[in-house]
Amino acid sequence: MNNIKRLWFFKPCLFFVLFSGIYSSLFYYNVLSIPILEKKINIKYQEIVDITKRFHGYYINSNTVELEEGIHNFNNVGIIVNKTGPVKVLSPAINLLSQSLLKAIDKKYIWTIAVIEKLHGENTGNSYFLPLRDIYIKFNDKTLHDSLMLDRIVKLEGLDKTYKGFHNYDIRITEVYTEDSSNERIHSVIYPIYLKSKLVSVIIVDIKEGWNDSLVSDLSNKRWIFITRNKGFDWATFNIKVPYTLNAPSLMVSIDIFKLLSVSFYLSSAIYLFSIFLYCFYLKINNIRCNDRMTGFFRRDFIESKLKRVEGASFLIIDIDHFKQVNDNYGHDVGDKVIKVVTQRIKESIREDDIAIRWGGEEFVIVFYHMRHDFFHQKAEMIRARIERERIENMHITISIGGSKQQHSELAFDAIKRADIALYQSKNTGRNRVTLDKNEDDA
């Protein structure tokens, strides 16, 4: 019980140390996970780029079909034809590109797949969209804009600088921007197609901004990671480099400190409470092994080996007077009740650090540390009077006590033997009294 009291006294300190350790571990684990997240995001973007690049071969080798100027739809692919004439059959390739992208990106994050042709000589500057949105039809209206369709789309999506940066077989991933009219937050994978060193077409895959959030949350959901796309504390915010971008734009992520604190608290609480449970269970098992079940005093067979190391202690041996008569006249059940009451009163009369031992059936040893001679005698008399003062099971119960003080270099067992001799003197001189060893009286 004393150990449990100490444990609860140190509870705030123990919990704080546990909480600090868990929080620090989780925080640095999250910091070390940032490069892992960056690698995962780069792999995902590279996968999208590789899929998009495959379209190059389909474009170069595609057949043509005669179409009139206007808007056409083939296999869900909208085609804007700016001049009647031959038009590349790209709808199967665009649908195949879409199917391939769906293996890498959830459908809800793909906004648009577009192929925009640039006017060169007989090239008509046609455009292909999956799906075809009203905004693209609007910006194809030549009465509104004099520039080429490709230039208009590039300008619409804020890609002017990126477009000027194209060179042979270059590829770009834009920063996140807001698309006009739809107000959708997207970023685009742009892949140019060249023939004879001339830009003839551009493939644009528009991806919703939420895809970046999903990449971050996927990692957070699978591990003890609390990384978010939301703005956090500066010291917990990191920039992840996105491949194929101009001017090194990056994806900002941060560690969710409040969630980290919350999880650390609950985890610390669970571990702490489980530790308390295990410790109490250990004390209970240890109590069964070390303590007498009836009295709660230490068992003699457990404590004897430890008494060898005791020095400078004082010892009392206590025996219940006429206990055999109690058992013979009232039975062992009543005798057990008498022992319980007597030992309870002894417990109430000694200090927490004093050691109480059930030495025999109705015989007990009390070990006192650092006790002066005069107070030692007073303590013994107080215990004797405490037992005598109140009746037990309607009987007048008394005890006899013998005491000794351990001498320099004397073994505890020798001091106990002297206390035992003093006990017999108490019994032989009328019982219900305290007798201290002669050496104790001379001290």
Q: What are phi and psi of 46, to 5 degrees?
A: -65, -35
Q: What are phi and psi of 428, to 5 degrees?
A: -75, -15
Residue identified by tokens 């194929």 is 244
Looking at residue 335, its pLDDT comes to 94
Looking at residue 247, its pLDDT comes to 66
Looking at residue 140, its pLDDT comes to 56
Side chain identity at residue 267, one-letter code: L
Torsion sign over Cα 157, 158, 162, 168: positive
Q: Which two tokens stand for residue 260?
A: 């980290």
Torsion sign over Cα 299, 301, 302, 305: positive
The model carries a pTM of: 0.61
Looking at residue 142, its pLDDT comes to 47
Looking at residue 6, its pLDDT comes to 54
Q: What are phi and psi of 47, to 5 degrees?
A: -60, -40
Looking at residue 138, its pLDDT comes to 66
Looking at residue 212, its pLDDT comes to 87
Averaged pLDDT in 10-residue chunks for the chain of 443 residues: 52 84 93 91 92 89 89 90 87 93 92 82 74 72 44 50 50 82 84 80 90 85 82 88 75 91 93 87 83 91 89 94 93 94 95 92 93 91 95 94 92 94 94 85 44
**What is the spatial distance between Cα 285 and Cα 226, in angstroms, rounded to a whole number?**
41
Q: Which helix (H) or strand (E) holds 307?
A: helix 300-307
Per 3-state DSSP, the chain is made up of helix, strand and coil in percentages (nearest 5) of 50, 25, 30
Looking at residue 144, its pLDDT comes to 34
Looking at residue 15, its pLDDT comes to 85
Q: Which two tokens stand for residue 225?
A: 């990671």
Q: Which two tokens stand for residue 106?
A: 């959830």
Cβ–Cβ under 8 Å, residues 227 and 220: yes
Report the C-alpha dihedral over residues 284, 289, 293, 295, rounded to 10 degrees: -100
